[in-house]
Structure 1
Amino acid sequence: MSGVTLNKVVKRYGNVQVIHGVDLKIEDGEFCVFVGPSGCGKSTLMRMVAGLEETTEGRIEIGDRDVTRMDPAERGVAMVFQTYALYPHMTVEENMGFGLKMTGHPKAEIKSKVAEASRILKLDPFLARKPAALSGGQRQRVAIGRAIVRGPEVFLFDEPLSNLDAELRVEMRVEIARLHNDIGATMIYVTHDQVEAMTLADKIVVLRLGRIEQVGAPLDLYRDPDNKFVAGFIGSPAMNFLDAVVTADGKVEVPALKTSVAVPVTLPAAGTKVILGIRPEHVDVTEGDALSIELTEALGGVSYDYIQADTGERLIVEERGDHRAAPGTRVSLSFDPGRAYLFDADTEARIR
């Protein structure tokens, strides 16, 4: 197996630049997730690693090889797509072994590798079936099995769970995590779903408009975001953001909450506009009349209150336990200032 290194990688379509000098190192055996909103360049970046998109500038290495100008078949990668791309007239066994058959591998070797992939993915009962007789999750496992039998240095997953329903997505997340633990391969996974990123990744790469916003372990990005974009993208529900201003007495006034708080960071000058961020799970609902609850989503062990401030700003607050605030109730909110984040109102960079 091998790691992947991107060095000042650029992608242009004509005069339009979509990837802007990306530098990234993915260690051997690491599970790296590219995450970001639609159009951020995550799939383009993966396709450049695969060789399906030409690299305009920069260098891509897999292991100790420069693969920047190599054909996809020479790079030692295998890709699992959003669509299963299975041959409908072939059985599961034939689909999984087809790539090796086309490259002239002996039948015995193909059979052995398909059997091993089938064992790992628990596909033995389905080897004689054709794709039409499989569920969506089973088809995706066959597509993953087809990648495994090739014995690649790097596995690439391009939003492989997008076509599955919610229950199957959870099941397949577990399957992919188990697969990584079993074979220890380097894996790059693209998704717009930050829950998938948080649950699967050793390393998350947050992308926006073709640039890396931050790289780190899931909980590091959750606890220590560099800017408002990363803070809002990582975490579900998203972090609440409220307009605020630095006061002369070294506090931060938050008009939406009708309060001032002493946030333990180095504050800019008094009168500076800032953005205060606080996660829904770090806010407590208390008796008061500062805000109005518009809607409550009761999900069993947890509920989410959707709250509108008199300023027009909206917040989401998580409640646990048996008590639930009813819609229309007037409440106040409290939180530990040490759990709050401050961001520059202009640059959106974190104030630490």
Structure 2
Amino acid sequence: MTGVTLDKVVKRYGDVQVIHGVDLKIEDGEFCVFVGPSGCGKSTLMRMIAGLEETTEGRIHIGKRDVTNMDPAERGVAMVFQTYALYPHMTVEDNMGFGLKMNGHPKDEIKSKVAEASRILKLDPFLKRKPAALSGGQRQRVAIGRAIVRGPEVFLFDEPLSNLDAELRVEMRVEIARLHNDIGATMIYVTHDQVEAMTLADKIVVLRLGRIEQIGAPLDLYRDPDNKFVAGFIGSPSMNFLNATVTADGEVEIPAMKTTIAVPIDLPAAGTDVIFGIRPEHIEVIEGDDMAIELTEALGGVSYDYIQADTGERMIVEERGDHRSAPGSRVSLGFDPARAYLFDAETEARIR
């Protein structure tokens, strides 16, 4: 197996530039997830690695090979798409081995590789079935098996779980994680679902408008975001953001929460507008009359309160335990200032 390096990679469609000088190094055997909202360039970047999109500028290396201008078949990658793209008239066994058959591999070799992929993905009971007789999760496993039998240097997954229902998504996340542990291959995975990113990745690459916003391990991005975009995108529910102002005393006034806090960082000048951030799980509902609970989502062991401040700003607060706040009631909120994040109101960069 081998790693992938992108060196100042650019993609243009005519006069429109969609990937802006991306530099990235993915280590051998690493599970790297590209995550971001629709239109951020994550699928385009993956297709450039696969050779399905031409690279306008920059270089792409897979291992020690410069593959920038190579055909997709020469790059040593296998791609699993959002759509399963299985041949409906072929059995599972034939679907997985078809690529090898077309490339002239011996029958015994094809059978051996299909058997190994089937063992890894627990597809043995379904080898003689056709796709119509399979569930969505089983079809996706067949598509992954078709990639495994090729023995690629790098696996590419382009939103492979987006067509599955919630229960199957969880099941397939576990299957893909197990697959990575079993074969140790370099894997690049594209998703807009930050839960998938957090649970699968060794390294997350957060993209916005064709640029990398931040790279890091899942918990590093969660605990130490570089800017408001990353802070809001990583974590579910999203981080709360409120307008705030630096006071003459060197503290931060948060009108929505009717409080002023001291934070142990170097603040900008008095009167500067900033953005205060706090995660739902780091807030406590306390007795008071500062804001109104509009709606409560009770999910069993946890519930989420949707709260509107008198300023019109809204927040989400997580509650655990037996007590649940009632919709329509008025409350106050408490939190540890050490859990607070501050961002520049203009650039949205983190103030540290």
**Length-normalised TM-score, structure 2:** 1.00
CA distance in 2, matches of 1:23, 1:7: 5
Paired position in structure 1 for 2:197 = 197
What is the aligned partner in structure 2 of residue 248 from structure 1?
A: 248
1:260 aligns with 2:260: yes
AA aligned to 1:50 is A
Note the C-alpha offset of 1:224: 0.2
1:67 equivalenced with 2:52 (yes/no) = no
**Residues 310-329 of structure 1: pairs in structure 2 closer than 5 A:** 310-329=310-329
SS at match of 1:39: coil
Distance of 1:266 and 1:76 partners within structure 2: 49
Percent of aligned pairs with the same amino acid: 90
What's the C-alpha RMSD, in Å, of the aligned pairs?
Answer: 0.3
How many residues align structurally?
A: 352
SS of the residue 1:129 aligns to = coil
Q: Secondary structure at the match of 1:180?
A: helix
Which structure 2 residues correspond to residues 309-348 of structure 1 after superposition, within 5 A?
Answer: 309-348=309-348
CA distance in 2: counterparts of 1:303 and 1:108, whole angstroms:
56
Q: Secondary structure of the equivalent of 2:327?
A: coil
Aligned equivalents of 2:262, 2:79: Cα separation in 1: 50
Q: Does 1:154 align with 2:154?
A: yes
Task: Tell me, in whole angstroms, the C-alpha distance in 1 between the residues paired with 2:97 and 2:336.
Answer: 57
Tell me the equivalent position of 1:218.
Answer: 218
Give 5+ residue unaligned stretches, structure 1. none
CA–CA distance in structure 1, aligned partners of residues 107 and 85 of structure 2: 23
Q: Which runs of 4+ in 1 moved over 6 A?
A: none
Distance (Å, rounded) in 2 between the aligned partners of 1:266 and 1:99: 59
User: What is the aligned partner in structure 2 of residue 164 from structure 1?
Assistant: 164
Report the Cα distance in structure 1 between the residues aligned to 2:140 and 2:7, rounded to whole angstroms: 32
Q: Deviations over 1:237-289 (max 9, x none)?
A: 00000000000111100000011011221111110000000000000000000
Aligned residue number for residue 55 of structure 1: 55
- Partner residue, 1:15: 15
One-letter identity of the residue aligned with 2:284: D
The residue number in structure 1 matching 2:299 is 299
Q: How many angstroms does 1:28 deviate by?
A: 0.2
AA of the residue aligned to 2:332: S
AA in 1 matched with 2:175: E
| Cα distance in 2 between the residues matched to 1:169 and 1:118 | 20
- Between the aligned partners of 2:118 and 2:177, the Cα distance in structure 1 is 16
3-state SS of the aligned residue for 1:350?
coil
Q: Deviations over 1:26-85 (max 9, x none)?
A: 000000000000000000000000000000000000000000000000000000000000
| CA distances 1:175-208 after superposition (whole Å, capped 9, x unpaired) | 0000000000000000000000000000000000
Letter in 2 for 1:312: G
Return the alpha-carbon distance in structure 1 between the equivalents of residues 205 and 150 of structure 2: 26
Distance in 1 (CA, whole Å) between partners of 2:51 and 2:332 is 55
Distance 1:189 1:326 in 2: 41
Matches within 5 A, 1:267-286: 267-286=267-286
**What SS does structure 1 have at the residue aligned with 2:264?**
coil
**Secondary structure at 1:333's aligned position in 2?**
strand
Q: CA deviation at 1:131?
A: 0.1
Output the TM-score relative to the length of structure 1.
Answer: 1.00
Determine the C-alpha separation between the residues in 2 that align with 1:266 and 1:182. Answer: 47
Q: What amino acid maps onto 1:216 in structure 2?
A: G
Structure 2 gap segments, 5+ residues each? none
> Secondary structure of 1:242's partner?
strand
2:97 paired residue number:
97
